[in-house]
Amino acid sequence: MRQDFLPFSKPSISEEDIAAVGDVLRSGWITTGPNCAKFEDEICEYTGAENAVAIVSATAGMHTVLMALGIGPGDEVITPSLTWVSTVNIITLLGATPVYADVDRDTLLITPESIEKCITPRTRAIIPVHYAGVPVDLDGIYALAEKHGITVIEDAAHAVGTFYKGEHIGQRGIAIYSFHPIKNITTGEGGMVTAPDNDFLNKVRQLKFHGLGVDAFDRNTQGRAPQAEVITPGFKYNMTDISAVLGRRQLAKLEEFNAKRTRLALRYRELLADIPGVLPLEFPENYDFTHAWHLFIVRIDIDGLSRDAFMEKLKEYKIGTGLHFRAAHGQKYYRERNVVAPGGLVNTEWNSDRICSLPLFPDMTFQDQDDVIEAIKQVIKV
């Protein structure tokens, strides 16, 4: 057995990254400033998005985007239940109703077909998740949304470095990235909203900074006009330059990080191929894509061994795992309040009970990975 605990994820931060953060700390300007502005530009350059706003988290991005769209009581928002709870929380906090589209059993993606079943005259938005780093069927989903006059907000938390038919995620419509430490690149905590419509993003810029009629940092005045006044009550969600400088350095290494993730993920698929009951996800077959390999998810489908017991036992072998995600509709608050049509989320529930994320991060070694496989074999007694 290995000596040290293998976490399921770990950020890759170099001494040069730490030095760059030190330079910002010594510079006299540590909050939203030139590094945030450059980080926004660099995200646009890399993804092909036209405009971007740096923000403190993807959750804050979702909050401000849904508010900027005017979503509130009486509105329905379609989302998978198999997503991070922040999306369902924000919809609920705004007084709107989450409506859950079932996922495909083997890709965990929501599809135009599963979304269409959820559309009503009250539907205002669809929030698909590019799960684990695989894009949803953008053409199908945007066509459906256009037909019904609904806005698409892409949850791109797993998808920096994901391409759909050669197009980077974030290029087409409103998309929200996360830079939480487990994501493909990190700023400590942070996120980015991209959109083709800069007037729309100006509303997000306002809401993320007190609702003032100016951004937190004006590129022309190198600060902000102190006379600015409140246009609409807003929040305090601006990213700091301490975070942004780290994000810029991480972005420059994204392709290297994702190449390392891909190499490990493909090796996992080979090593797991002859282990019964530990089932990797499958890939969508009707479109080309590039996988960002944010997560390596398996489903534990073994009689007499629950997913929770599997995770617990792996921990005894010093192997960390993650759970992305427990279905939101099954969690206490939502279970007690939301009614989901019986039998309506079959694939979501089947996966919610079985999914488990195995360790995957750029600095993980093949030896680490062999330890994971050996521990799995011990735990399931192959």
Ligand X SMILES: *Cc1c(COP(=O)(O)O)cnc(C)c1O
When asked if residue 90 is in the footprint of ligand X (CB under 6 A), the reply is no
With H, G, I as helix, E, B as strand and everything else as coil, classify residue 310.
helix
* DSSP string over 272-306: HTT-TTEEE----SSS-EE-----EEEEE-BTTB-
The correct pick among 84, 217, 257, 268 for binding ligand X (CB under 6 A) is 84
- The answer to whether residue 129 forms part of the interface with ligand X (CB under 6 A) is yes
Of residues 157 and 379, the one with the C-beta less far from ligand X: 157
Confirm if 124 and 77 have CB atoms less than 8 A apart: yes
Token reading at 197? 């419509």
Using rule CB under 6 A, residue 157 touches ligand X: yes
Stretch that binds ligand X, among 13-21, 55-63, 161-169, 237-245 (CB under 6 A): 55-63
Select the span of 39-47, 136-144, 155-163, 331-339 touching ligand X (CB under 6 A).
155-163
Helix/strand/coil percent split, the chain, to 5: 40, 15, 45
What is the residue whose two structure tokens read 């059993």?
105
Rounded least distance, CB 58 to ligand X, Å: 3
Separation of alpha carbons 205 and 54, rounded Å: 9
Which residues have C-beta within 8 Å of that of residue 340, sequence separation ≥ 6? 81, 100, 329
Q: Is 86 in the site for ligand X (CB under 6 A)?
A: yes
Nearer to ligand X, 157 or 356 (CB): 157
Six-digit token string for 270: 């080979």
Distance CA 361, CA 344 (A): 35
- 234 lies in the binding site for ligand X (CB under 6 A): no
Question: Least separation, in Å, of the C-beta of 2 and ligand X?
Answer: 27
**159 binds ligand X per the rule CB under 6 A:** no
- H or E stretch at 155: strand 151-155
Nearest approach in angstroms of CB 118 to ligand X is 18
* Whether 183 is catalytic: yes
101 binds ligand X (CB under 6 A): no
Confirm or reject binding of residue 155 to ligand X (CB under 6 A): yes
* Nearer to ligand X among residue 86 and residue 240 (C-beta): 86
Closer residue to ligand X (CB): 59 or 151: 59
Separation of alpha carbons 27 and 239, rounded Å: 17
Select the span of 54-62, 238-246, 304-312, 374-382 touching ligand X (CB under 6 A): 54-62
Which of 183, 203, 208, 260 is labelled catalytic? 183
Rounded to 5 degrees, what are φ and ψ at 168? -70, 140
154 touches ligand X (CB under 6 A): no
Of the candidates 131, 180, 100, the residue with the CA atom closest to the CA atom of residue 325: 131
- Residue 121 backbone zone (phi > 0: left; psi -120 to 50: alpha; other: beta): alpha
* 90 vs 379 by CB, closer to ligand X: 90
By CB under 6 A, tell whether 83 contacts ligand X.
yes
User: Per CB under 6 A, which region of 84-92, 214-222, 313-321, 344-352 contacts ligand X?
Assistant: 84-92
Q: Which neighbouring-strand residues pair with 98?
A: 77
- The residues with which 155 forms a beta bridge, in sequence order, are 129, 176
Residue 191 lies near ligand X (rule: CB under 6 A): yes
Where helices occur in the chain by DSSP H, the ranges are 15-27, 34-47, 58-68, 85-93, 112-116, 138-148, 198-208, 241-252, 254-272, 307-316, 332-337, 346-352, 366-380
Q: Which stretch binds ligand X (CB under 6 A): 36-44, 78-86, 109-117, 138-146?
A: 78-86
Q: Which residue's CB is nearer to ligand X, number 10 or number 313?
A: 10
The answer to whether residue 178 forms part of the interface with ligand X (CB under 6 A) is: yes
Distance of closest approach, residue 83 Cβ to ligand X, in angstroms: 5
Which of residues 291 and 376 has its CB atom nearest to ligand X in the complex? 291
Using CB under 6 A, count the residues that bind ligand X: 14
> Which stretches of the chain bind ligand X, using CB under 6 A?
57-59, 83-84, 86-87, 129, 155, 157-158, 178, 180, 191
Q: Annotated active-site positions, please? A: 183
